[in-house]
Chains A and B, each alone.
Chain A
Amino acid sequence: QQQVKQSPQSLIVQKGGISIINCAYENTAFDYFPWYQQFPGKGPALLIAIRPDVSEKKEGRFTISFNKSAKQFSLHIMDSQPGDSATYFCAASHAGNNRKLIWGLGTSLAVNP
């Protein structure tokens, strides 16, 4: 059973466009939702994270939108650049499972020049 469902599996966007990746979860106990970015041959790195007390968090071109009632959160990459081409993972955690992150399956993003 996939506790965090991520879509799409892959995404192709033109340079300057908006990339949108979505995640949905079932466990209402989750209270921390990060996005990690992974380049080929590297380990994932934290990109941006949100807690459910806010509906949106923005850092530069990256924005997380959070919909508590729908149990969904999404990553928006504005003005997408070729350097954004990577695999993106969403995740979720809560105190009840020792903060162990539960991961989505990842989205491979390609930004065409």
Chain B
Amino acid sequence: SYELTQPPSVSVSPGQTARITCSADALPRQYAYWYQQKPGQAPTVVIYKDSERPSGIPERFSGSTSGTTATLTISGVQAEDEADYYCQSADNSGTYWAFGGGTKLTVL
């Protein structure tokens, strides 16, 4: 099976920069997506196609990829950004989709 690896947790103080990484073999060939999930809510896309930001998502959210690692960066973290974040991509064949285990972002 195809796996994506994220750190279980990241903690930052308000106004600092949070970086969440995601490692997976297919990332050089497949787009990375990032989802934010708050308690009791469905996930929502914050980054698509590695680095694109949907309308309505604040500019402090950005994404990048390098080799087999994708990174979600949140600059100037705010209390409202506290949530679980999941990365996702397809495998090399493009026929199987998987999510990372999720990273809990805590705003201190």
Partners in one complex: no
- B contact set with A: CB distance below 8 Å: none
- A contact set with B: CB distance below 8 Å: none
